[in-house]
Amino acid sequence: MLPLGSSLPVFALPSVHDLHGSFSSADLDQRPALLMVLCAHCPFVKHVEPELSRLEQDYGSRIQMIGISSNSLITHPQDGPKQLAEQAERQGWRFPYLLDDQHSLAKALRAACTPEFYLFNPNPNGHQTLHYRGQLDSSRPGNEQILNGQDLRAALDAVLNGTAVNPDQTPSVGCNVKWNPGQEPDWFG
């Protein structure tokens, strides 16, 4: 997992809503930034979609939420821009949803699966640093656990209240990021 305290990677990626438009790390303001590695087809992502919508309702004015789809369009065309835009529209998501089909941001984040969450917060110098990376909560498709975003919400509340985030963080579980053939990162097992 990406070490806590890591700097927010520099990125500029096309938006699934407008592939001629883009969103970059330079577009972020001084609110905390929540980067979410998502996709359209993964059953784990489909399972958490309602909670992502609730998170946007509850925290959307106080943080910046950014969805990122890093799956290969060669092997998984069902995660293409059209399907991602339809997913966002169906869920009512207003946050930027970006296409990272060359995996530059996924590799910088050391992303392993969908969904995966990274919470960055500006330090006194204005640089965004990593305070949380891991699971939304303990809920998984079919495991009978309540979908409530407990782990991520605790981290968001701590950052917004200026208190320390619990460093004991549980990695996400889900479908692995679908890398383009031959582009798997060297740390990928």
Residue keyed to tokens 């619990």? 166
List of domains in the chain: 29-176 (3.40.30.10)
Structure tokens at 104: 């530059």
Higher pLDDT, 5 or 20: 5
Task: Name the E strands within the chain.
Answer: 12-15, 18-24, 33-38, 64-69, 97-99, 113-114, 116-122, 128-134, 175-176
| Phi and psi angles of residue 90, each rounded to the nearest 5 degrees, phi first | -60, -40
**pLDDT at residue 82 greater than cutoff 90:** yes
Handedness of CA 73, 46, 32, 27 (dihedral sign): positive
Q: How confident is the model at residue 188, as a pLDDT? A: 55
The mean pLDDT of 150-157, rounded to a whole number, is 98
**Do 97 and 85 contact (CB within 8 A), yes or no?**
yes
Q: What is the mean pLDDT of the chain?
A: 94
User: For 57-79, how does the pLDDT look when each residue is reduced to its tens digit (9 = 90+)?
Assistant: 999 999 999 999 999 999 999 99
**pLDDT > 70 fraction of the chain, expressed in percent and rounded:** 98
**pLDDT at residue 189 greater than cutoff 60:** no
- 46/44 Cα distance (integer angstroms): 5
The mean pLDDT of 169-186, rounded to a whole number, is 92
Q: How confident is the model at residue 18, as a pLDDT? A: 79
CA dihedral 54, 59, 64, 70 (to 10 degrees): -30
For residue 61, the tally of other CB atoms under 10 A from its CB is: 8
User: For 109-142, how does the pLDDT look when each residue is reduced to its tens digit (9 = 90+)?
Assistant: 999 999 999 999 998 888 999 999 999 999 999 9
